[in-house]
């Protein structure tokens, strides 16, 4: 909040969608969009592909906040920055190689750190009925 007032939030899909939704709610920003960029496969980090550009810009210019969960090598951040060069770029985590490409981050981690986000993990805090019990209801 101390950094300014944001008119538009752009979440980088997929990792930035949940943080972007949380920030949009907390800052009462209703104009939220996505940019879809793919760089990771199951086995490695590959070439960057823009799957969905930011193609619906507001009628009047405003203050844009780009949000992602993590900046790793900075390759995705570089591509998105070209789309909105004056936007403020914020991530939850930043690794050393990607750190120069973001304006704000919460925590810096080493380049070899693997981060498991809550939305990528499975947690069971309550009793879960066996499938056989639920199929008989």
Distance CA 68, CA 89 (A): 8
Task: Identify the active-site residue in 2, 68, 86, 126.
Answer: 68
Beta strands 45-52 and 8-13 are: unpaired
| Active-site residue (options: 46, 72, 103, 126) | 72
Q: Mark whether 72 is an active-site residue.
A: yes
Q: Among the options 2, 69, 103, 126, which is catalytic?
A: 69
Residue 25: C-alpha distances to residues 18, 21, 70, 79, 123 (Å): 11, 6, 20, 26, 24
d(Cα 46, Cα 109) in Å, to the nearest integer?
Answer: 21
Which stretches does DSSP call E strand in 4-44?
Answer: 8-13, 32-40
Catalytic residues: 68-69, 72
């Amino acid at each position: 909040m101390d950094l300014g007032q944001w008119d538009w939030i752009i979440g980088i899909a997929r990792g930035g969608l949940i943080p972007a939704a949380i920030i949009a709610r907390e800052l009462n920003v209703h104009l939220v969009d996505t940019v879809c960029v793919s760089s990771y496969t199951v086995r490695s980090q590959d070439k960057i592909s823009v799957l969905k550009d930011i193609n619906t810009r507001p009628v009047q210019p405003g203050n844009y906040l780009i949000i992602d969960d993590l900046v790793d090598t900075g390759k995705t951040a570089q591509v998105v920055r070209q789309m909105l060069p004056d936007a403020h770029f914020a991530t939850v985590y930043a690794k050393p190689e990607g750190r120069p490409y973001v304006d704000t981050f919460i925590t810096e981690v080493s380049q070899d750190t693997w981060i498991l986000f809550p939305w990528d993990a499975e947690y069971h805090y309550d009793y879960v009925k066996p499938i056989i019990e639920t199929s008989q209801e």
